[in-house]
């Protein structure tokens, strides 16, 4: 019955900055803007999964940034088809928009290729080769 994630919602410090960043990422398409709710929704590739970006809630500390050293989210990984060549193209696109990466590397098992990068709020993303 379960079909996977419907959406992942992230709180961001600056919705306009995050809109620009995610809109520039290959495969992320803004498909809904909810100005009254201070939310944006992106489609990710050809999957059914959506990314929802939300403005900070009242009471969020000024200057707050993501840290995987707290309980909760560690990182988000998205599958990429097309093998290493697709990842190399994505790595060039990430560099072009100023999202630093360590290049295309192998996972800890030394089997699958991936790219790791961070968004403007320091949230780590992985683009993972799917076989």
For the domain spanning 7-57+74-129, the CATH number is 3.10.180.10
Mean pLDDT, 10 residues at a time, the chain of 131 residues: 85 95 94 93 90 95 90 93 92 92 91 94 93 74
pLDDT of the residue at 40: 97
Residues 6+ apart with CB under 8 A from 53: 9, 10, 12, 15, 18, 19, 22, 39, 40, 41, 42
- Which of 17, 52, 46, 11 lies closest to 33, judged by CA? 52
pLDDT of the residue at 46: 85
pLDDT of the residue at 47: 82
Residue 117: its H or E element: strand 113-118
pLDDT of the residue at 89: 93
pLDDT of the residue at 131: 74
């Amino acid at each position: 019955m379960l079909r996977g994630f419907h959406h992942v919602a992230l709180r961001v410090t600056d919705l306009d900055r995050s809109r620009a960043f995610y809109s520039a990422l290959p495969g992320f398409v803004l498909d809904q803007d909810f100005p009254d709710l201070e939310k944006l929704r992106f489609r990710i590739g050809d999957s059914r999964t959506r990314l929802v970006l939300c403005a900070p809630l009242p009471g969020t500390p000024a200057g707050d940034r993501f840290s995987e050293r707290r309980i909760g989210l560690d990182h988000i990984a998205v599958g990429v088809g097309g093998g290493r060549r697709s990842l190399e193209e994505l790595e060039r696109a990430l560099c072009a928009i100023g999202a630093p990466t360590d290049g295309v590397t192998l996972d800890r098992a030394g089997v699958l290729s991936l790219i790791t990068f961070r968004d403007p709020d320091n949230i780590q993303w992985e683009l993972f080769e799917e076989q």
